[in-house]
A and B are shown apart, each in its own frame.
Chain A
Amino acid sequence: MRIVLNGDTMELRDDSSLADLVEQLGLGDKRIAAEVNMEIVPRSQHAALRLNDGDQIEIVHAIGGG
């Protein structure tokens, strides 16, 4: 399936969960927050959330700012 991650299109194995994606990106142990189709997905639900073709996903982290 094809998803849009942080504005870029990406191919992903069918039946992937959000946790699979996060793990695949090497962000499993990082402090991140994820949004699927504009809805926040709490960390505790990453494993249960199945992604679908066309999903818009945002993964954010904290950076320096004032």
Chain B
Amino acid sequence: MSEQLRHDPLIIAGKEYSSRLLVGTGKYRDLDETRRAIEASGAQIVTVAVRRTNIGQNRDEPNLLDAVSPEKYTILPNTAGCYTAEDAVRTCKLARELMDGHDLVKLEVLGDQKTLYPNIVETLKGAEMLVKDGFKVMVYTNDDPIVAKQLEEMGCVAVMPLGSLIGSGLGILNPHNIRLIMEAANVPILVDAGVGTASDAALAMEMGCAGVLMNTAIAGARDPLLMASAMRKAIEAGREAYLAGRMPRKKYASASSPMEGII
């Protein structure tokens, strides 16, 4: 194995990660399944949502951050459910307080409930406000290469275009755009949303993406733990294939066995 493969960390906001798989914590049956699936995925960056605490209910209810400890994982609070830049910024500020000043956040500002497609105007506005406020912003966006570049130039630490709609499992619908985004980028580009199964994740990595963020592909599998393990391998295999450099595609056959000495 080459030197390159032995030390090939994902670097986000100056911090090194050995895993290029980022996972969400939504849609699991319970916290124990969440914990075990994340462990099986090998992920080191884990997204969470910020919501109102249920008052007067289940005081002893286990907390997500007990199952997914900030001591063990880099917690990435998201702004899921926000439809304006202002709401997203407010959520990030609450998250920063919740995480004792930890300022890495996932910005997502949505456009409508049917598609959960990002509202780019609000996303750009939110990114600008958050960067100005000192946040390290990983930003969910569409697969528009111009917008991706603008978000990078604003100071986002990672740009995360969708493969397809959140929770759709349709895979990477426009690999050509993702490639254009990567070619122009100086920050990590991660595919966020749309991955359905291991081959989708491997494809993203083979194309040269820095990483993949997924939730439903694991939580929505019949066996989430097994899928978490599959995703871990797909991400690693895809990354190694990218670094190894695939053989050129050819129009005709090229024999693998030598022609000489045929009886």
Question: Which interface residue of B28, B64, B77, B216 has the most chain A CB atoms within 10 A?
Answer: B64
Tell me the dominant secondary structure on chain B's binding face: mixed
Chain B residue, CB-CB nearest to A34: B97
B49, A63: Cβ atoms closer than 8 Å: yes
How many B residues face the partner with a CB closer than 8 A?
Answer: 36
A60 with B93: in contact, given A30-B63, A66-B26, A66-B215 (CB under 8 Å)? no
Size class of the A contact interface (CB-based, 8 Å)? 20 to 34
Which residues from chain A contact B53 at a C-beta distance below 8 Å? 6, 25, 27, 30, 32, 59-61
B59, A26: Cβ atoms closer than 8 Å: yes
A65, B55: Cβ atoms closer than 8 Å: no
Please encode chain A, from 41 to 64, with 1 for each CB lying within 8 Å of some chain B CB and 0 for all others: 011000000000000001111111
B94 within 8 A of A: yes
Chain B residue, CB-CB nearest to A8: B55
In Å, the complex CA distance between A6 and B55 comes to: 8
A42 with B50: in contact, given A62-B75, A64-B26 (CB under 8 Å)? no
> Which residue of B47, B63, B80, B214 is within 8 Å of A61 (Cβ)?
B63
B49, A62: Cβ atoms closer than 8 Å: yes
Contact residues of B between 164 and 223, Cβ < 8 Å to A: 166-167, 193, 213-216
B52, A6: Cβ atoms closer than 8 Å: yes
CB distance from A43 to the nearest CB of B (A): 7
A42 with B48: in contact, given A8-B55, A66-B166 (CB under 8 Å)? no
Which residues of B are interface residues toward A (Cβ below 8 A)?
24-28, 34, 47-53, 55-56, 59, 63-65, 75, 77-78, 80, 90, 93-95, 97-98, 166-167, 193, 213-216
